Amino acid sequence: MTSWLTAADGPARAGLSGPKARPVIAGRDQVAGLLIYFVGAARRDTDPLASCLDSCGPLVPLRYQCSSSTMSRIQAQQDAQLTRAALPLLTLTLLSNEESYGYQLIERLADLGLEVTTGLMYPLLSRLERDGLVSTRMVPSTSGPPRKYFALTEAGRMTRASVQEQWQVVATAVHAATEKESAPHA
């Protein structure tokens, strides 16, 4: 049986998460997890299982995540890269619905179950503005300094359509490949 972990158990810095779901861990994986916990506890002061899960990303079987530190590291890197790849499309899509300021976009993504750090979002918005894909305007705030609102430009709309198309091509290819691989061999 394969146990799937959601990103609620993964780090915010890894990017994606599903805060409402809880992990379902199979008995065999629990044994493996306990072994890692106690072996790791002898080496570190921190909670090793937590740190292992912390470095893992969403939707990855526990036995793959924690089978080795190398695997976890590779998984964490892959998650970060996946988030970076998806974030421009997500941001352009959210901005096509309505203009928002930076932190508001993070909150809107969190409402969708995706946790993204400001360290990823703010530079992305800066790059989108530099490339002319979003326009900005300052709006006075009653609770502090004025906020910078971002809205999609016409170039941004075209880019979003193009990126979405690319994403669909990749997603379809990945889906087809994984379905084929996971199908029982004759």
Partner 1 sequence: MPDKTLKATPTRRRSFGDKVRADMYLTRLDWHLEAVLPGKERRATVKELRQTLASDPRDTTTSLRDLGAPRLLAEQYAGDARRRPLWSIGVITAGAALLIYWTVFLSYVFGMLAAVESLGSTEARATFLTIEVSAYSTTEAIGISWTSDWAWLILPTIIAALAFFLGARIWRAITPSAKSS
CB of 107 to partner 1, least distance (A): 7
CB of 130 to partner 1, least distance (A): 6
Torsion angles phi and psi, residue 7, rounded to 5: -70, -5
Torsion angles phi and psi, residue 21, rounded to 5: -85, 155
Does position 119 interact with partner 1 (CB under 8 A)? The reply is: yes
**Candidates 20-28, 38-46, 59-67, 121-129; binding stretch for partner 1 (CB under 8 A):** 121-129
CB of 106 to partner 1, least distance (A): 9
CB of 159 to partner 1, least distance (A): 16
Closer by beta carbon to partner 1, 23 or else 123? 123
Does position 117 interact with partner 1 (CB under 8 A)? The reply is: yes
Does position 130 interact with partner 1 (CB under 8 A)? The reply is: yes
Number of H helices, E strands in the chain: 7, 5
Does position 122 interact with partner 1 (CB under 8 A)? The reply is: yes
Sketch the per residue contact string, 148 through 167, with partner 1: x for CB under 8 A, - otherwise.
Answer: xx------------------
Q: Give the one residue of 69, 146, 158, 170 binding partner 1; rule: CB under 8 A.
A: 146
Strand order in the sheet with 134-141: 100-101, 144-152, 134-141
Neighbours of 45 (CB within 10 A): 6
Could you tell me the two tokens for 26? 């199979």
| CA-closest candidate to residue 62, choices 87, 34, 90 | 34
CA distance 85 to 76: 14
Does position 79 interact with partner 1 (CB under 8 A)? The reply is: no
Does position 13 interact with partner 1 (CB under 8 A)? The reply is: yes
Beta-strand ranges (E) seen in the chain are 4-5, 60-61, 100-101, 134-141, 144-152
Query: Residues in the site for partner 1, rule: CB under 8 A?
Result: 12-13, 98-104, 107-108, 117-120, 122-124, 126-127, 130, 139, 141, 143-149
